[in-house]
Amino acid sequence: MPTDPIGGCPPKDEETGIKRCTPKELIRHEPKDLEVPERTEVFLSPFEREFADHYFRVELKSHQDLRLLGLLPSGIPEDKLLQAMAADDEEARKLAHTKQTAQVDRACHCESNGGPMVRPYGVGLRRDYARIRKSYHPATAALLSDYYRTRVEWDSPLPGILRYWANRLALAGEISMYVPLFRDITINRGATLTVDPSDKLLLAGSIWIHRAGQLVHRGGYLKIWAKSILQFSDFNDIIRTEARNFPWKPNP
């Protein structure tokens, strides 16, 4: 398939006008600025034609692809991360088993004394496991604590987010997502930039938000991978991102 000589991406999709890229092609693309004028509201969406040149349809097929886009830590090997998640799975199962065993024992005692019956062991095991596992990540948190050299709690949202991406890839085999890419984003006085709720990732250089402006996302999760997110009160305070000075940009 022929590629775009500037960005290295395949030609635009005829229906959406959005280019298809691999993660490696995406992070090598040269982005453009976005400025939201004063007292206006802009809806950033892959389905708005004015942003077709800023969005890319990215196909993620491996843990390496997830790491390239910052969705998994770049320095943690795949096998170590999966081992930690599997250990958390097993620990959650043990806790759910212990809880259900205790409930069944109490139920048997109540029934022998004419008390009310409760649901048997197997019915509640999966329910309790799902509840525990949702926020229980001791092994993964310990791995991340070593990697980031700061304490990550066992119930921190971060391990759960990593588990979401790893499981989604494992179940589907491939993740297709729209990703907006910008150089700098400037949201001026009284302006609002609303990001499409379906967006999960936003790449940018620096994001400048006036103290009377706002960046809004009403979806469940959005990872912003940018050099900085800064507030300003005067336009002269803004310092533009230098060429190639992006956290996600590979070295030349």
Over the stretch 173-215, which tens digit does the pLDDT of each residue have? 999 999 999 999 999 999 999 999 999 999 999 999 999 999 9
Residues 54 and 178 in one domain: yes
Residue where a domain stops, chosen among 120, 147, 169: 169
Q: pLDDT digit string (tens) for 138-155?
A: 999 999 999 999 999 999
Mean pLDDT over all residues of the chain?
A: 88
The string of DSSP letters for 55-111 reads EEEEEE-SHHHHHHTTSS-TTS-HHHHHHHHHHHHHHHHHHHHHHHHHHHHHHHHHH
Residues 89 and 212 in one domain: no
Structure confidence at residue 120 (pLDDT): 58
Residues 152 and 192 in one domain: no
Does 203 reside within a domain?
A: yes
Among candidate residues 233, 242, 225, 251, the one with its CA nearest the CA of residue 67: 225
Structure confidence at residue 134 (pLDDT): 94
Q: pLDDT digit string (tens) for 24-53?
A: 999 999 999 999 999 999 999 999 989 999
Q: How many domains does the chain have?
A: 2
Does 249 reside within a domain?
A: no
Does 9 reside within a domain?
A: no
Does 10 reside within a domain?
A: no
Domain with 44, as residue range(s), is 19-61+174-237
Question: Is the predicted pLDDT of residue 106 greater than 90, yes or no?
Answer: no
Residues 165 and 82 in one domain: yes
Among candidate residues 29, 22, 18, the one with its CA nearest the CA of residue 246: 29
Residues 111 and 55 in one domain: no
Residue where a domain stops, chosen among 169, 193, 225: 169
Question: Is the predicted pLDDT of residue 109 greater than 70, yes or no?
Answer: no
Residue where a domain stops, chosen among 121, 145, 169: 169
Question: Is the predicted pLDDT of residue 3 greater than 50, yes or no?
Answer: no
Residues 32 and 86 in one domain: no
CB count within 10 Å of CB 9 equals: 20
